[in-house]
Amino acid sequence: MTGPGGYAAEPGGPAPQPRHAAPSPTGSYRPPPLPAGEPMAMSISRPDPPQPSESARSGRHAAGGPSALRLIWIYPDLLSTYGDRGNLLMLQRRARLRGLAVDPIELNSDQPVPQQGDIYLLGGGEDLPQILAAQRLRADGGLIAVAARGAVIFAVCAGYQLLGTVFGGVQGEEVAGLGVLDLRSGRGERRGVGEVVADVDPALGVDRLTGFENHQGVTTLGSAARPLAQVVLGVGNGDGTEGAYAGHVLGSYLHGPALVRNPGLADLLLTWAVGPLPPLADAAESWTRQLRQERLAATSS
């Protein structure tokens, strides 16, 4: 059977042949070292309407197909706060429920960023781990390279800020980011802490966002990035908008974890990676709906 995305939904098919090396005993992936002279060019993604990736067009993530959907969680040893790990779990679950084979990879900060990923995830973090993560990712160059080829990237809070050109360090000093999103972050007067509700750019077709924020940073978008959403409750970027996207790169201040509380956002990322997806059965959505109702009701009093 072929789904709307052109992939065959055959959960009972033969196990996919992973293109990755076997995971290390800790479950993290150690890819071969990057070739010397890996390009470090900074590039700003343009907010062109996203096109399905090459892998989406070829349908190669079908269960039993030639390779699994590779979800790469960048630096969980430095960037993972307020349940950000849930974003990885949610993408796995929603992909597998569609019959897609998934290969989740946790990449610690002493490892080079693999080039063959389909969706790259970054979480939030305190100021010092955030600065260290930015330095290592700049030195590695791998995430900058995959952004330039159109890989899907979803980044939360500290991870979101470091995708920009610059962000505020511990004393507000400017720290260089990766420059894959056209935005700059500085340090605001007060921390933004608490629940967030925000209405997503209609072009993305995603329901109202619910999440939790805790950050000092304020973010200003350049012309090559679009706001992800308009804030209804909370702080977000600090100017009435929340998050940003350009091409297949999307960042947000929302923890909670964002993709568990906003399954539409999870499906948007999966769609960017593999093409159109069928809706899930009601039974598979009941916990998600309950969580969203509970969180949104808690903010409406």
| 207 C-beta neighbours (distance < 10 Å), count | 13
Burial 61-78 (b: 16+ CB within 10 A, else e): bbbbbebbbbbbbbbbbb
User: Residue 92 or residue 214: which is nearer to ligand GLN going by CB?
Assistant: 214
Least distance from ligand GLN to the Cβ atom of residue 108, Å: 18
- Torsion angle of the four alpha carbons 15, 17, 19, 24, in this order, in degrees rounded to the nearest 10: 60
Q: Which two tokens stand for residue 110?
A: 């002493």
- 157 classed as catalytic: yes
- Residue with Cβ nearer ligand GLN (53 or 161): 161
- Of residues 152-171, which lie at the interface with ligand GLN (CB under 6 A)? 157-158
Structure tokens at 275: 């093409």
Cβ(230)–Cβ(169) below 8 Å: no
Tell me if 58 contacts ligand GLN by CB under 6 A. Answer: no
Q: Is 214 in the site for ligand GLN (CB under 6 A)?
A: yes
Nearer to ligand GLN, 211 or 217 (CB): 217
- For residue 19, CA distances in Å to 65, 67, 82, 110, 274 come to 11, 6, 32, 21, 17
Whether 122 and 159 have beta carbons less than 8 Å apart is answered as yes
Site for ligand GLN in 71-100 (CB under 6 A): 81
Region from 29-37, 46-54, 68-76, 123-131 binding ligand GLN, contact rule CB under 6 A: 123-131
Report, in Å, the least distance between residue 254 CB and ligand GLN: 10
Candidate ranges 66-74, 87-95, 210-218, 273-281; the one touching ligand GLN (CB under 6 A): 210-218
Q: Which stretch binds ligand GLN (CB under 6 A): 53-61, 122-130, 268-276, 281-289?
A: 122-130
Question: How many chain residues are in contact with ligand GLN, going by CB under 6 A?
Answer: 12
Is 61 among the catalytic positions?
no
* 124 touching ligand GLN, by CB under 6 A: yes
From the CB of 46, what's the least distance to ligand GLN, in Å? 26
Q: Considering the complex, what minimum distance in angstroms separates the CB of residue 130 from ligand GLN?
A: 5
- Least CB distance to ligand GLN at residue 48 (A): 28
Q: Are strands 226-233 and 241-246 parallel, antiparallel or unpaired?
A: antiparallel
**Strands 119-122, 152-156: pairing kind:** parallel
Does the protein bind ligand GLN through residue 219 (CB under 6 A)? no
Selected catalytic residue, list 61, 157, 215, 248: 157
135 binds ligand GLN (CB under 6 A): no
Q: Where does this chain touch ligand GLN (CB under 6 A) — which range of 14-22, 26-34, 215-223, 284-292?
A: 215-223
Taking each helix axis from N to C end, the angle separating 85-96 and 263-274, rounded to the nearest 10 degrees, works out to 60
Shortest approach of ligand GLN to residue 105 CB, angstroms? 22
Binding site for ligand GLN (CB under 6 A): 81, 124-127, 130, 157-158, 214-217
Q: Which residues are known to be catalytic? A: 157, 255
